[in-house]
């Protein structure tokens, strides 16, 4: 398969899902409405509040969503067909860059093409995200853009590459708060590169990321009286990290009781800042007192991120009957028998997608691990890939899903391609 046919195949796959999105209309999940309200409020009142302002105000929603994706929706007038078209163009561009990276690293053209197209067929969640009102694809583009420029620094060292990479990562930070601490491993990598090149200039652009954090936190302080980057951090700490740890260690009833108690005490706090500090301190103490139980649910979430077939995604996209609690809900609680019962109760179409995407997840994981074969010939590139992939893998938390993997999917394909290039028959 040559470049032209690969590009036709890439565009064709995206076009099929784009048309399905417009016809079926399963383009929104609960998170989508946060972004749509945020864009609407930005348009009408200049506020980044992420919910309906005609309903009782929820302080957390002033800072629940970072501004990047809402600005994109604002600029497109929140027109669904235009947003999805733009996201498909972004996705096609990302995978074309992946293709170019693989060719640069001596992966055969045919192998690179089939690896990418095969990934998109067996991990069709990536195409669903491109056709959903979600920030996944813009974030994926910004993250891979940063990687692209750092790869350029490896191949042909240059200080400008670091500036462009940091700008891309800063854009990603404004789209998704998961990038909040990314500047720390990036700083470590920059220090290694500075020592290799004997040029400290490559380090300074990294500090653009904590600068963005400080500026947005200062803006949030003006809105809420509390200097923080996003309320999602506190909400996740309480409702996912702590709750799932408590459920794993003591059962659902005990977890409900403790979380209800935390909420009740938090509601008596004298300010929004005091409320958040109380929740954070209480949850951190609970996790510290149950380190083993927390480690268990966190590791389970990391495993789920890599292997999740994305049932929730295609059930919503194809507007299927979701039925019972999702597989990740069962997995997070260690209810493996319940997971099997969920699968058995689904329609044949859902079961087909489930096993197709599960197969794709397993194959990609094995191929990605095979990418370590590129050592020691591509040492810095493998380190860079592992650094970015590892950051998102560790930070996925107890509830790991295929959606969280979308950010690193192109990077996993690059690493997989490096491994294939070291097998003679490829």
pLDDT digits (tens, 9 = 90+) for 274-295: 999 999 999 999 999 999 999 9
Confidence category of residue 371, pLDDT binned at 50, 70, 90: very high
> In terms of Cα–Cα distance, which of 179, 123, 200 is closest to 388?
179
Confidence category of residue 383, pLDDT binned at 50, 70, 90: very high
Q: Is the torsion defined by CA of 366, 240, 284, 270 positive or negative?
A: positive
Confidence category of residue 336, pLDDT binned at 50, 70, 90: low
303-309 mean pLDDT: 89
Using alpha carbons only, give the angle 117, 123, 127 rounded to the nearest 5 degrees: 75
pLDDT at 323: 55
| CA separation for the pair 299, 295 (Å, rounded) | 6
Q: Tell me if residue 66 falls in helix, strand or coil.
A: coil
Lowest mean pLDDT among 77-81, 96-100, 276-280, 376-380: 376-380
Place of tokens 């996993």: 412
> pLDDT tens across 228-276, in order?
999 999 999 999 999 999 998 999 899 999 999 999 999 999 999 999 9
Average pLDDT score over the chain: 92
For the whole model, what pTM was predicted?
0.93
Using alpha carbons only, give the angle 300, 301, 302 rounded to the nearest 5 degrees: 90
Neighbours of 119 (CB within 10 A): 22
pLDDT at 425: 47
Q: How far is CA 384 from the centre of its chain?
A: 18
> In terms of Cα–Cα distance, which of 144, 145, 130 is closest to 92?
130
- Please enumerate in sequence order all residues whose Cβ is within 8 A of that of 400, keeping only pairs 6 or more positions apart, or say none: 300, 301, 302, 303, 304, 305, 306, 308, 328
| CA separation for the pair 264, 257 (Å, rounded) | 11
306-328 mean pLDDT: 74
pLDDT above 60: residue 188: yes
How many Å is the Cα radius of gyration of the chain? 22
SS3 content of the chain, % helix, strand, coil (to 5): 75, 0, 25
pLDDT above 90: residue 421: no
397-421 mean pLDDT: 93
DSSP code string of 82-104:
HHHHHHHHHHHHHHHHHHHHHHH
Q: How many residues make up the chain in this entry?
A: 426
Cis ω before 376 (30° cut-off from 0):
yes
Q: Residue 246 phi/psi, 5° resolution?
A: -65, -40
> pLDDT tens across 135-164, in order?
999 999 999 999 999 999 999 998 899 999
DSSP code string of 220-280:
HHHHHSS--S-THHHHHIIIIIIHHHHHHHH-HHHHHHHHHHHHHHHTT-SSHHHHHHHHH
Is the CB of residue 86 less than 8 Å from the CB of residue 76?
yes
> In terms of Cα–Cα distance, which of 128, 237, 124 is closest to 177?
237
Is the CB of residue 419 less than 8 Å from the CB of residue 365?
no
| CA separation for the pair 76, 163 (Å, rounded) | 28
44-53: burial string, b at 16+ Cβ within 10 Å, e else: eeeebbbbee
pLDDT at 355: 85
pLDDT at 426: 45
């Amino acid at each position: 398969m040559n470049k032209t046919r690969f590009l036709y195949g890439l565009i064709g796959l995206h076009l099929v899902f784009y048309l399905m999105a417009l016809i079926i209309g399963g383009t929104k999940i609960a998170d989508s409405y946060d972004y749509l309200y945020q864009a609407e409020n930005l348009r009408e009142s200049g506020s980044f509040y992420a919910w309906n302002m005609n309903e009782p105000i929820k302080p957390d929603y002033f800072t629940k969503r970072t501004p990047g994706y809402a600005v994109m929706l604002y600029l497109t007038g929140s027109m669904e067909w235009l947003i999805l078209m733009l996201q498909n163009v972004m996705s096609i561009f990302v995978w074309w860059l992946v293709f170019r990276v693989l060719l640069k690293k001596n992966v055969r053209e045919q192998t690179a093409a089939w690896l990418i197209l095969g990934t998109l067929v067996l991990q069709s969640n990536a195409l669903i995200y491109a056709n959903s009102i979600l920030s996944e694809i813009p974030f994926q583009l910004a993250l891979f853009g940063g990687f692209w420029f750092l790869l350029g620094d490896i191949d042909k060292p240059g200080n400008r590459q670091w500036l462009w990479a940091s700008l891309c990562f800063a854009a990603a930070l404004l789209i998704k708060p998961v990038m909040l601490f990314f500047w720390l491993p990036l700083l470590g990598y920059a220090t290694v590169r500075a020592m290799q090149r004997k040029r400290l200039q490559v380090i300074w652009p990294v500090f653009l990321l904590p600068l963005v954090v400080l500026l947005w936190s200062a803006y949030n302080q003006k809105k809420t009286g509390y200097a923080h980057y996003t309320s999602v951090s506190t909400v996740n700490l309480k409702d996912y990290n702590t709750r799932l740890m408590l459920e794993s260690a003591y059962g659902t009833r005990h977890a409900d009781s403790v979380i209800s108690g935390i909420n009740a005490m938090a509601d008596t706090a004298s300010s929004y800042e005091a409320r958040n500090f109380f929740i954070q301190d209480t949850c951190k103490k609970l996790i510290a007192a149950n380190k083993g139980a927390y480690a268990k649910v966190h590791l389970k979430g990391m495993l789920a991120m890599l292997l999740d077939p994305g049932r929730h995604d295609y059930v919503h996209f194809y507007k299927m009957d979701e039925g019972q609690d999702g597989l990740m809900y069962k997995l997070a609680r260690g209810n493996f028998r319940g997971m099997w019962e969920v699968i058995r109760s689904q329609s044949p179409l859902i079961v087909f997608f489930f096993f197709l995407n599960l197969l794709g997840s397993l194959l990609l994981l094995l191929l990605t691990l095979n990418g370590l074969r590129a050592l020691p010939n591509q040492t810095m590139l493998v380190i860079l890939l592992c650094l970015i992939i590892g950051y998102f893998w560790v930070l996925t938390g107890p509830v790991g899903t295929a959606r969280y993997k979308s950010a690193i999917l192109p990077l996993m394909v690059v690493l997989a391609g490096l491994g294939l290039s070291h097998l003679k028959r490829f």
